[in-house]
Structure 1
Amino acid sequence: MTTSTTRFRSWYRPMRARRPDEPHRTATPLELFFDLCFVVAVAQASGSLHHDLAENHLGHAVLSYLTVFFAIWWAWMNFTWFASAYDTDDDVYRATGLVQIAGALILAAGVPRAFTEADFTTITYGYVVMRLGTIVNWLRAAAGNPDRRATAIAYAVGVFVVQLGWLLRLALPDGWRLPAFLVLALADVLVPLVAERRGKTSWHPHHIAERYQLFTLIVLGEAILSISVAIQTGVDAGNPGLWGLAAAGAVIVFALWWLYFDRPGRLPPSSLRGSLFWGYGHYLIFAAVAAVGAGLAVAVDHDLHTAHVSSQTAGYAVAVPVAVYLITLWALHLRWKRGLGLVLFPIAAVLVLAAPWLPAPVPALAGLLFVLVAVTLLMRHRQSTGVPA
């Protein structure tokens, strides 16, 4: 092999499908860098949600947050699943990855305007930049995989058509933009369903599970940041009561981490329907955890008398995303359990939604989640020792 051929292959390799049973398949430095840049977008969304909730703009807060977080989650998810099947780690692939990271930063810069003015122009531009990198990658996959060419072409065409729709949406009157968003979001999530019917991509189940775990840690980090800010605010304001709130918030976040990473981990199902349900369902996991951080910040503002919300509303700012998290985690990972395990998380979610009516909502939520973790540990211990749960 000549030196020139070796150099060529270092910057460009045929993009052939990777084996789904490849040993030691882990996240690459590019994927980790990609996740790191998404921290900015998640932080912007969480911070804007906090501001709207504290100002009692509840409807606007929820709608804006869900739409903005969709763009963040969908862009991240498409990069992740494609990389699991086709990451060549050559120079061209790295360059397209950096283009998508640049799009993520543009998207993050547009989050505040999307919340305050419902102006999704910057977010749309960043989203389209990211998706252009995706289209290039799918065309490379089509060239390198004759047996899966129909699938790759379907992805490339589908993504391209939907991106045209997102750009045309910017020219619509204000009253049409929300319906157009819903239509285009549905079209976006249907692209994999249509494309995968032409041949399944060879994503790696352990790699996908690890990537989702890493993004879960990112959104948990946003909640940890809120707790740190609560402690700092309490120190600066001379309010010792915030130390208790910060401690309760820490218990909540620790419990969310424990419940998601409780042994044994669940891999995404191999079937198309199961993998889509698992992959799409995590939208609620990610969005809920990031919203918990915003809710804890609202609770701090309420205790400092700087939020324009009642005690119950401040409590629900934490309780609602926690309940969504528990129900979604149960649906994705725990429905297969029997006995008490089948109903434990739904019961806990109901109790969580009742907690804001107690005198100290956040500590009550922390207590409920502590008990939930303790019960799951006890059930797992009994299961491992053969004692019926």
Structure 2
Amino acid sequence: MTARSRHEEHRASTPLELFFDLCFVVAVAQAGARLVHALAEGHVGAGLAGYAAVFFAIWWAWMNFTWFASAYDTDDALYRVVTLVQITGVLILAAGVPRAFDDGDFTISVIGYIVMRLALTSQWLRAAASSRDPAERQVCLRYAAGLVLCQLGWVGMLFVPDSARTWVFPLLALAELSVPMLAELRHTTSWHPHHIAERYGLFTLIVLGETVSAATIAVQEALDEHDELGDLLPLAAGGLLIVFAAWWIYFAVPIHDHLTSNRQAFLWGYGHYVVLASAAAIGAGMEVAVEQAVGKAHISAIAAGSAVTVPAALFMLTVWGLHSRHFKRGMAQQLTLPVSALTILGCTFAGRTGVPLAGAVAAVTVAVGWTLNRRRAEGASPTPPLPETRRG
């Protein structure tokens, strides 16, 4: 298992990587469903805390595989089998999401992580054994050691009192985040910028697709029970506009040219926890808004609207902070997304019309951004030379 070149041309996601991503849909859907239940019952604090913890587990499992595969995907039989074992661990993790969210019982999720970590650790050890570069071998061994130590920490968390887990979980999460930075402190793995950007983009698409699916099912179930389009149609239209705008804004500019170092790439990659979690939460918020509209959720219209507007605004702000701002020129372009995010937050206080208004703001944001980009492009293009005239 030798490292792939960072400058390899035409590097794209493989069918196995896409299969791996799709298996995460189950876990994301489970987390979203539990968040809906908590918010609809008015348990905002507990719901957000549980969602943040569970989504971190889902996102970090995906991260671990993605960055390794970008550097060492040999696609031979052994690599495929070990990756399928990791997928099995993902499915076990997904099965444990309801217990982890509702009761703080991470036993099944930790078992899923053990399966994934055993497989991934063997991949790092295989890469270390295959490397002829001592510095690269040390990086691989550091990754393997970090995975094992962190996993021992998660197993140990199962035996601490429930009250202590509130503090143990963030500490272990910080330990997990530090492993790549410590492992690659002196020597970097050969992750591929274009490949990494594509992998994150594809996973964002999957999460947005899950958001559309969750909102569609919620509207369908509400129609089956109440058969009223009056309140649901504006909600559905507003939610759809928000998701469409989220897609447009995220993919407005290519990011791979910006990922030129570990510092930039790690900051960008870690920041996607907020991007992905907020994107998935939009779908959960749409379900809450639909349930409130038909009288199933025991919360106010403002609270239901905030379940959509807050993650939508957070998505916009985070995408702007991670990569959109690097390609903006001028005050107008730089302020478009932050101002739109604040405006969407303000739509919360419009009650039941908050989500449709937020959708309209999101659509206007895309239109304004597109117009400003066109004007910039036209202004930057050189003026064509005038045709020569013949003198008689």
State the match for 1:4 in structure 2. none
State the match for 2:21 in structure 1. 35
SS at match of 1:276: helix
- Which of 66, 69, 88 lines up with 1:102 in the alignment? 88
State the match for 1:362 in structure 2. 355
List per-residue Cα deviations over 1:313-370 (Å, max 9, x = no partner).
Answer: 1011011111111111011112232321222211111111111111411001101101
- Which of 244, 247, 265 lines up with 1:254 in the alignment? 244
List per-residue Cα deviations over 1:263-319 (Å, max 9, x = no partner).
Answer: 444545222211110000011110000000000000000000100111111011011
SS at match of 1:146: coil
> Once the two structures are aligned, what percentage of the paired residues are identical?
52
SS at match of 1:358: helix
8 A Cα contact 2:215 2:284, kept in partner: no
C-alpha RMSD of the superposition: 1.3
Q: Letter of the 2:338 partner, please give it.
A: P
Matches of 1:267 and 1:321, distance apart in 2 = 28
Q: Letter of the 2:35 partner, please give it.
A: L
Q: Letter of the 1:351 partner, please give it.
A: T
CA drift of 1:37 comes to 0.6
SS at match of 1:335: helix
Alpha carbons of structure 1 residues 143 and 268: separation in structure 2 relative to 1, 3 Å: farther
8 A Cα contact 1:151 1:200, kept in partner: yes
8 A Cα contact 2:11 2:194, kept in partner: yes
Matches of 1:186 and 1:291, distance apart in 2 = 23
8 A Cα contact 1:322 1:352, kept in partner: yes
The answer on 1:63 being equivalent to 2:49 is yes
CA drift of 1:150 comes to 0.7
SS at match of 2:369: helix
- Which of 260, 281, 303 lines up with 1:291 in the alignment? 281
SS at match of 1:108: helix
8 A Cα contact 1:259 1:373, kept in partner: yes
- Which of 328, 334, 350 lines up with 2:342 in the alignment? 350
8 A Cα contact 2:36 2:287, kept in partner: yes
State the match for 1:188 in structure 2. 176
Matches of 1:357 and 1:41, distance apart in 2 = 32
- Which of 66, 83, 86 lines up with 2:69 in the alignment? 83
State the match for 1:227 in structure 2. 215
8 A Cα contact 1:216 1:286, kept in partner: yes
Alpha carbons of structure 1 residues 268 and 94: separation in structure 2 relative to 1, 3 Å: farther
8 A Cα contact 1:16 1:86, kept in partner: yes
SS at match of 2:379: coil
Q: Which runs of 5+ in 1 are unaligned?
A: 1-14
Matches of 2:238 and 2:64, distance apart in 1 = 35
The answer on 1:279 being equivalent to 2:265 is no
The answer on 1:118 being equivalent to 2:118 is no
Matches of 1:64 and 1:51, distance apart in 2 = 12
Alpha carbons of structure 1 residues 268 and 144: separation in structure 2 relative to 1, 3 Å: farther
Matches of 2:275 and 2:258, distance apart in 1 = 15
Matches of 1:25 and 1:269, distance apart in 2 = 15
- Bigger drift between 349-358 and 37-46 goes to 349-358
List per-residue Cα deviations over 1:46-73 (Å, max 9, x = no partner).
Answer: 1111111111100011000000000000
Matches of 2:257 and 2:313, distance apart in 1 = 23
CA drift of 1:181 comes to 0.7
The answer on 1:309 being equivalent to 2:299 is yes
The answer on 1:157 being equivalent to 2:149 is no
CA drift of 1:234 comes to 4.1
State the aligned residue count: 374
State the match for 2:309 in structure 1. 319
8 A Cα contact 1:150 1:198, kept in partner: no
Where does 1:203-242 land on structure 2 (aligned, <5 Å)? 203-236=191-224, 237-241=226-230, 242=232
8 A Cα contact 1:107 1:126, kept in partner: yes
Alpha carbons of structure 1 residues 252 and 132: separation in structure 2 relative to 1, 3 Å: same
CA drift of 1:230 comes to 3.5
CA drift of 1:77 comes to 0.8
Q: Letter of the 1:184 partner, please give it.
A: L
Matches of 1:130 and 1:306, distance apart in 2 = 39
Matches of 2:42 and 2:313, distance apart in 1 = 20
8 A Cα contact 1:352 1:368, kept in partner: yes
List per-residue Cα deviations over 1:145-203 (Å, max 9, x = no partner).
Answer: 13200100110111111101110110101111121111110000000000001310001
SS at match of 1:172: coil
- Which of 326, 329, 335 lines up with 2:325 in the alignment? 335
CA drift of 1:387 comes to 6.6
SS at match of 1:317: helix
State the match for 1:7 in structure 2. none
Matches of 1:46 and 1:300, distance apart in 2 = 15
8 A Cα contact 1:268 1:279, kept in partner: no
State the match for 1:49 in structure 2. 35
CA drift of 1:233 comes to 2.6
In the superposition, the TM-score normalised over structure 2's length comes to 0.93
8 A Cα contact 2:194 2:256, kept in partner: no
Q: Letter of the 1:41 partner, please give it.
A: A
The answer on 1:379 being equivalent to 2:367 is no
Q: Letter of the 1:194 partner, please give it.
A: L
Q: Letter of the 2:234 partner, please give it.
A: G
